[in-house]
A and B are shown apart, each in its own frame.
Chain A
């Protein structure tokens, strides 16, 4: 937990030199499928000071990795370059090798601190699209690079990407399940709980400073609140019977949770102290896994009222419930995309669980995974362009625009229920 403090301090130190030229024009539409990858040149950073070469190398490599993650770029091989980056950029030279975009970085090392600068250029126009300066400790270079990567994507698409996000997940260690946290790229996994029991279903507060989770720390499954900064854990929802699968409302003021009242499982709305405000869904069957639409007007959930687990949508203003999924006999874990345009879920196909997306009106059903292993618990990235999910006990990331997916992290053992954080401010 203490790890959080330096990161937040780090950015307090940052000199945010905003000589950003903000262009209204969006260079890339990330949602447009089948577009060609944009050739980008990322030459070695300019360096100054003892040990700056090594750190500059690590930073430029990480920046390439970050931009590759997005899948929008063709990162030009260094062998194609006609020479190192100039102090005064000769754009013609970079245009000749086919670069549309060019990044120039500078790193100055002074003992334990680094002063860095990074600019993104449109080669054809010879124009800077974004330029930033960040200052921090050497061991924080990863977070500096992630921040640059985020600024590069913002300059090109108009929106920040996932470089300043984290993923909470459930880590199964020696029979116990603990809640863990790692960076979006799987780096730096660390425990958030050490309760030596079963803890499940982490879920983020929209501000990203708190998490709810379900734990057997007490008598049965109950909901706990975890504050990231302090690491403090507090039992929040503990009615008799089950208290499971909590979800914050988009304004962060209320929590939807499955409780059992008088033998009936229902989804209830409770306030931030766990007091019941109202019943949202009540039925003799199973009602679980609520997920709100971003405007808070609708809520997807799972129910077996039709004879098999299917996804339903509750319209909170009309108080009407409609079934969303009709294909397959087992559809669970709905998550509403941050833009509200999609619902992702897990469905059983020929004995294996696969990831699907569907529009909230039931149209445009898409199966995203096909391999004969289990793919479960999808979670949208805050920009809505990626899904994290678990595949046979490992966390994978799927790019929605091209369907490509890959594992992140190198932990042994079982990792499940990834939950992508909102964009975090350090």
Chain B
């Protein structure tokens, strides 16, 4: 899925740029927290300053919260990336869940249950062998059996949708056994979180 790689790379670039920018802003503000220590200090200050200080403090709290949120989101995005990174694979012309795929799906199910707001799209794919039409049908069966497996593990069915791409979107374009094994897969895309 080169498309997704590009998406992720561009996302990372934007993210870095953003976090750098944030740091600069934060450094500025590091100077301002100093008044915080003086919080309990003389009340005989200028009324203007008195009014100014709570505003500043609120600002600081907001900044901190935003940073926390950022960190949390960053962590979630990393988890999402890891979730999407891992495909499950199938045997030729089969759509049953293999034991190795079942282990991966158990992990995915746990994570999905911990994040009930997440919506996942399961893409069913096939290798290039066989007819386009049959492979479209096969890709759907793969996506469906994966969905059923996740539902069986307690994942809310309404959070899962499926699409079949048949043999149309190979992850490895080569024409050999190794590529075919990689292309017979279900890929996961988080559509909402």
- Minimum CB–CB distance for B3 against chain A, Å: 10
Cα(A416)–Cα(B132), bound, Å:
9
Question: Which residues on B sit within 8 Å (CB–CB) of A260?
Answer: 140, 144
Question: Which residues on B sit within 8 Å (CB–CB) of A59?
Answer: none
Name which residue of chain A comes closest to B164, CB basis. A242
Question: Which residues on A sit within 8 Å (CB–CB) of B148?
Answer: 263
Instruction: Say which residue of B132, B140, B168 sits within 8 Å of A242 (CB atoms).
Output: B140
A152 CB-CB contact with B under 8 Å: no
B130 and A289 within 8 A (CB): no
Question: Which residues on B sit within 8 Å (CB–CB) of A265?
Answer: 137, 140-141
Name which residue of chain B comes closest to A417, CB basis. B132
B130 and A241 within 8 A (CB): no
B131 CB-CB contact with A under 8 Å: yes
Within 8 A of A (CB), among B79-113: 93
Cα(A306)–Cα(B154), bound, Å:
31
A332 and B134 within 8 A (CB): yes
Nearest 8 A-B pairs (CB), nearest first? Answer: A245-B133, A288-B137, A332-B131, A286-B137, A332-B134, A244-B136, A220-B163, A333-B131
Cα(A265)–Cα(B134), bound, Å:
12
B138 CB-CB contact with A under 8 Å: yes
A330 CB-CB contact with B under 8 Å: yes
Q: Give B116-141 as 1s and 0s: 1 = Cβ < 8 Å from A's Cβ atoms.
A: 00000000000001111110111011
Within 8 A of B (CB), among A376-426: 376-377, 416-417
Cα(A73)–Cα(B140), bound, Å:
49
- Minimum CB–CB distance for A372 against chain B, Å: 13
- Minimum CB–CB distance for A101 against chain B, Å: 42
Name which residue of chain A comes closest to B144, CB basis. A263
Instruction: Say which residue of B134, B136, B141, B162 sits within 8 Å of A214 (CB atoms).
Output: B136
Cα(A221)–Cα(B139), bound, Å:
12
Question: Which residues on A sit within 8 Å (CB–CB) of B144?
Answer: 260, 263
15 residue pairs A–B, Cβ–Cβ below 8 Å? A170-B132, A177-B168, A198-B165, A200-B132, A201-B133, A242-B164, A285-B141, A286-B134, A302-B133, A308-B93, A309-B134, A330-B130, A332-B133, A346-B131, A377-B131
A164 CB-CB contact with B under 8 Å: no
**Range of interface residues on A (Cβ < 8 Å):** 35 or more
Cα(A216)–Cα(B136), bound, Å:
12
Q: Using a CB–CB distance below 8 Å, which chain A residues touch chain B?
A: 170, 177, 198, 200-201, 214, 216, 219-221, 241-242, 244-245, 258, 260, 263, 265, 285-289, 302, 304, 308-309, 330, 332-333, 346, 348, 353, 374, 376-377, 416-417
Cα(A294)–Cα(B187), bound, Å:
41
B131 and A376 within 8 A (CB): yes
Within 8 A of A (CB), among B25-60: none
Instruction: Say which residue of A198, A258, A289 sits within 8 Å of B131 (CB atoms).
Output: A289
- Minimum CB–CB distance for A309 against chain B, Å: 6
- Minimum CB–CB distance for B143 against chain A, Å: 10
Q: Give B157-177 as 1s and 0s: 1 = Cβ < 8 Å from A's Cβ atoms.
A: 000001111101000000000
- Minimum CB–CB distance for B144 against chain A, Å: 6
Cα(A216)–Cα(B132), bound, Å:
14
Cα(A327)–Cα(B134), bound, Å:
18
Cα(A221)–Cα(B136), bound, Å:
9
Question: Which residues on B sit within 8 Å (CB–CB) of A244?
Answer: 133, 136-137
Name which residue of chain A comes closest to B139, CB basis. A242
Question: Which residues on B sit within 8 Å (CB–CB) of A221?
Answer: 136, 164, 166
Beyond known contacts A221-B164, A244-B133, A374-B129: 10 more, CB 8 A cutoff = A201-B132, A241-B140, A241-B162, A242-B140, A260-B140, A263-B144, A265-B141, A332-B134, A348-B130, A377-B132
- Minimum CB–CB distance for B1 against chain A, Å: 13
B131 and A242 within 8 A (CB): no
Question: Which residues on A sit within 8 Å (CB–CB) of B140?
Answer: 241-242, 260, 265
Question: Which residues on B sit within 8 Å (CB–CB) of A289?
Answer: 131, 133-134
Cα(A353)–Cα(B168), bound, Å:
18
Cα(A374)–Cα(B133), bound, Å:
16
- Minimum CB–CB distance for A392 against chain B, Å: 10
Q: A288-B136, A309-B93 are in contact. Are A220 and B164 (CB under 8 A)?
A: yes
B168 and A258 within 8 A (CB): no
Name which residue of chain B comes closest to A287, CB basis. B137
Cα(A325)–Cα(B141), bound, Å:
23
Cα(A258)–Cα(B133), bound, Å:
10
- Minimum CB–CB distance for A220 against chain B, Å: 5
- Minimum CB–CB distance for B9 against chain A, Å: 19
Cα(A216)–Cα(B141), bound, Å:
18
Instruction: Say which residue of B129, B134, B165 sits within 8 Å of A288 (CB atoms).
Output: B134
B133 and A333 within 8 A (CB): yes
B164 and A302 within 8 A (CB): no
Question: Which residues on A sit within 8 Å (CB–CB) of B168?
Answer: 177, 198, 200, 216
Question: Which residues on A sit within 8 Å (CB–CB) of B133?
Answer: 200-201, 244-245, 258, 288-289, 302, 332-333
B163 and A332 within 8 A (CB): no
- Minimum CB–CB distance for A76 against chain B, Å: 43
- Minimum CB–CB distance for A13 against chain B, Å: 41
Name which residue of chain B comes closest to A246, CB basis. B133
Cα(A330)–Cα(B131), bound, Å:
10
Question: Which residues on A sit within 8 Å (CB–CB) of B93?
Answer: 304, 308-309, 330
Cα(A374)–Cα(B165), bound, Å:
21
- Minimum CB–CB distance for B160 against chain A, Å: 12
